[in-house]
Amino acid sequence: RKKCLLCTNVLMIVAASIMGCSKMSQSFEMILIGRFMCGLSLCVPLHHQYVGEISPKKLRGFANSTSSFFWSLGKAVGQISGQRELLGSQALWPMLMASCGFPALVQLVTLPFFPESPPYLLMHKGDQEGCKKAIRQLWGEGQHQAEIDDIMKEKATMKNTKILSVLELVKEPAFRWQLYMIVVLTATIQLCGINAV
């Protein structure tokens, strides 16, 4: 999880650099390439997954809501910064386009100091000691055996579950309507008014 987040942040920094240099290079194509690379970023779903897995159970709902909060806050800050009086002028708009790299840079610098997700360490890597160490680092000293037992139960449940590849998921008729709904909802998210909110 952590490595994927780090790679996504590198992608965002590269995209921001490309967009920031577009005016100097006199190339609008660089803006298109940079925006496409931003679209490839997996920050939002990875944030949900990582933050949800490193949070104690009683704070998990609150921690997962931070993604939506910061997403909305980022959109609001971007729209305010895009006003002509701030960064929306002809001379400063490349800085506005490149500003999406700043949060990615902050996360790229700070994330290495955080441990890997305890469920990931235990369920996918089989590293029980690493899981205990990560839990102690995240939640402090104390009795965390109940949480480890919950992760072990989830791992036992997952053994009987077949993991599908993306191609198998697309070909599976039982998931076809759910897949259609997700694609339509994701494709129409720009029409829902979240930018206005």
Token pair recorded at residue 52: 């949800």
Could you report the per-residue pLDDT of 116-151, keeping only the tens digit for each? Answer: 888 888 777 777 888 888 888 887 777 777 777 777
Task: Tally the residues of the chain.
Answer: 197
- Same domain, yes or no: 184 and 105: no
Residues contacting 89, CB < 8 A, separation 6+? none
Total of domains in the chain:
2
- Residue predicted with more confidence, 113 or 69: 113
CA nearest to 10, candidates 50, 52, 43? 43
- Same domain, yes or no: 101 and 190: no
- Same domain, yes or no: 108 and 188: no
Phi-psi label, residue 141: left if phi above 0, alpha if psi -120 to 50, beta otherwise: beta
The yes-or-no verdict on residue 5 having pLDDT over 60 is yes
The residue type found at 18 is I
The yes-or-no verdict on residue 68 having pLDDT over 80 is no
- Say if 185 falls within a structural domain: yes
Structural domain of residue 176, as residue ranges? Answer: 162-196
**Residue 135 and residue 148 in contact, taking contact as beta carbons nearer than 8 Å:** yes
Structure confidence at residue 152 as a pLDDT band (50, 70, 90): confident
**Residue 104 and residue 9 in contact, taking contact as beta carbons nearer than 8 Å:** yes
Token pair recorded at residue 86: 């701030």
- Same domain, yes or no: 83 and 180: no
Dist. CA 42–CA 38, nearest whole Å: 9
- CB-count exposure of residue 111 (10 Å: 0-12, 13-18, 19+): middle
- Same domain, yes or no: 171 and 80: no
Percent of the residues in the chain that have a pLDDT greater than 90, as a whole number: 2
- Residue predicted with more confidence, 192 or 75: 75
Q: Residue 195: helix, strand or coil by DSSP?
A: coil
Percent of the residues in the chain that have a pLDDT greater than 70, as a whole number: 93
pTM as predicted? 0.69
- Same domain, yes or no: 96 and 166: no
> Alpha helices, DSSP H only, in 89-191?
93-98, 101-110, 118-123, 128-139, 145-159, 166-171, 176-187
**Residue 130 and residue 116 in contact, taking contact as beta carbons nearer than 8 Å:** yes
